[in-house]
Amino acid sequence: MKRSLFLLSIVFALAFSAKAQQIPNYNSAPEAKEKAKQKLQEIKERIKTPEDFYKQALLYSDDPGSNRNNGCYDSIKRGEFVPEFEKVALSLKPGEISDVFETKYGFHIMLLRTKRENDFDVCHILVIPTY
């Protein structure tokens, strides 16, 4: 079980990397993007503790690689994820939750769990604007 989750997270990390393609059903219409941002803002307002964040990720994240793992990725090395994602992660203090931000995959909020010299652990919630 742990091995299959580990392999799934590796596959998604590769898909989420800077080399990945745009998600096919991503709707770039302004109304869809605004709806996704609003949904994340409402989710963020319900979060008071890390445990709340994990529950919200399980319920609402569109990220198939992390939503069943409380929205978490561990030991992310610099350069593994898209630059916008890493920039936000590295700007946070441990325990801090980001504002809503956009990548080519959709809109996110992020909780930085741990930041080390060469890697970091984060949890995030992704909402993809859809048609």
| Domains, in order of start, for the chain | 2-127 (3.10.50.40)
Q: Give the chain as a 3 state SS string.
A: CHHHHHHHHHHHHHHHCCCCCCCCCCCCCHHHHHHHHHHHHHHHHHCCCHHHHHHHHHHHCCCCCCHHHCCEEEEEECCCCCHHHHHHHHHCCCCCECCCEEECCEEEEEEEEEECCCEEEEEEEEECCCC
Give per-residue pLDDT as tens, 40-74: 999 999 999 999 999 999 999 999 889 889 999 99
Pick from 62, 76, 98: nearest CA to 9? 76
Percent of the chain residues topping a pLDDT of 90: 73
How many other C-beta atoms are found inside a 10 Å radius of the C-beta of residue 72? 19
> Quick check: 5 pLDDT over 50?
no
Percent of the chain residues topping a pLDDT of 70: 81
Give per-residue pLDDT as tens, 73-91: 999 999 999 999 999 999 9
Give per-residue pLDDT as tens, 92-101: 999 999 999 9
Please answer whether residues 25 and 130 qualify as being in contact, where contact means their C-beta atoms are separated by less than 8 angstroms.
Answer: yes
Confidence of residue 23 (pLDDT cuts 50, 70, 90): low
